[in-house]
Amino acid sequence: MSQRILTGIKATGQPHIGNYIGAIQPSLELSKQENISSYLFIADSHSLTVQPSASVLKQSVCQIASTWLACGLDPNKVFFYRQSDIPELFELNWILSCVTPKGLMNRAHSYKARKDENLKLGKKDLDDKVNMGIYNYPILMGADILLFSADQVPVGGDQIQHLEMTRDMAQKFNHIYKKDLFTIPKAFIKEEKILPGLDGRKMSKSYNNEIPLFLESNQLKKLVRKIKTDSTPAEEPKDTKNCLIFQIYKSFASDEEMQNLKDLYVKGIGWGEAKDILFFKLEDYFKDKK
Ligand code: TRP
């Protein structure tokens, strides 16, 4: 049976290694298989929630498109498009919003995070600076996925809830209209591929903790140096489990390379040295894609 995969990357800023591990790499790997048809796109309408200028948005769309291509997307084999070029998405967005309970959107992590932030800042209005685009974000994402009857959606761990919401919307619609119109999609996620950012929270543009793809060598080195570590002295054995450097390294290194770094951790390695190993790995991994 043939399977459809679909994924998008939001066009805000430069794509980062979390996008690569969560969406780009698994999608491109799957898209090479015979029985799979792929829908890979640039989510430029989703970016409007941050109200970018036309030139900033345009630049970001070009960056995402060139990243997909540089990483090996073959436009003859996959459907490769810009979200805003498909007007039917916005029609479906409205139809889905009429079957989606408001309470479901109230529970969206990204919206809740904004409210928590306002609470922390002591704001009276917890919805301060929350526009309806942010609030309805998961519905447009549902339309992206359901319009093309996707079976599998390769995404980073931060998108799991959006996929669950999409499934809810599809089921709800199918139930109300007594028809199996929408395919119920599944998130395609490799557990070990949830990448932490520089500060240990999930890697995300909204946390400003990302490592962008295709940086100049010295910029990449500088960023890797910023990864948060503890104050264990250089000569003391180190734990790989809670170490951000190791967690990021794991997504790019071979089993043998991982074992070598593990051995160095047991012996005791300075954080500077561990960061250099990660830096060289990332440089090497992406050099032929630049
Ligand atoms: N929300 C995703 C992100 O922030 C982008 C996205 C939009 C998406 N629509 C999608 C991903 C549909 C998968 C499927 O990166």
For residues 36-60, give the mean pLDDT. Answer: 97
User: What is the structure's pLDDT at 191?
Assistant: 61
Atom 8 of ligand 1: nearest residue by CA position:
8
Mutate which of 4, 5, 7 for ligand 1 pocket (most atoms within 8 A of beta carbon): 7
Single-letter code of the amino acid located at 89: L
User: What is the structure's pLDDT at 273?
Assistant: 94
CA 115 – ligand 1 centroid, Å? 21
In the predicted structure, residue 146 carries a pLDDT above the cut 70: yes
For residues 8-26, give the mean pLDDT. Answer: 91
Instruction: Report helix, strand and coil shares of the chain as percent, to nearest 5.
Output: 55, 10, 35
User: What is the structure's pLDDT at 265?
Assistant: 94
Tens-digit pLDDT profile for residues 180-231: 999 999 999 876 557 899 999 888 877 889 999 989 999 999 999 999 998 8
User: What is the structure's pLDDT at 259?
Assistant: 95
Angle at 142 between CA 99 and CA 60, to 5 degrees: 140
Tens-digit pLDDT profile for residues 228-281: 998 888 888 998 988 999 999 999 999 999 999 999 999 999 999 999 999 999
| C-alpha distances out from residue 212 to 18, 89, 219, Å | 9, 29, 10
User: What is the structure's pLDDT at 231?
Assistant: 86
CA distance 261 to 252: 13
CA distance 172 to 184: 11
Mutate which of 9, 82, 147, 206 for ligand 1 pocket (most atoms within 8 A of beta carbon): 9
User: What is the structure's pLDDT at 171?
Assistant: 98
Tens-digit pLDDT profile for residues 82-93: 999 999 999 999
In the predicted structure, residue 145 carries a pLDDT above the cut 60: yes
For residues 95-120, give the mean pLDDT. Answer: 96
> Please, which pLDDT band fits residue 49 given cuts at 50, 70 and 90?
very high
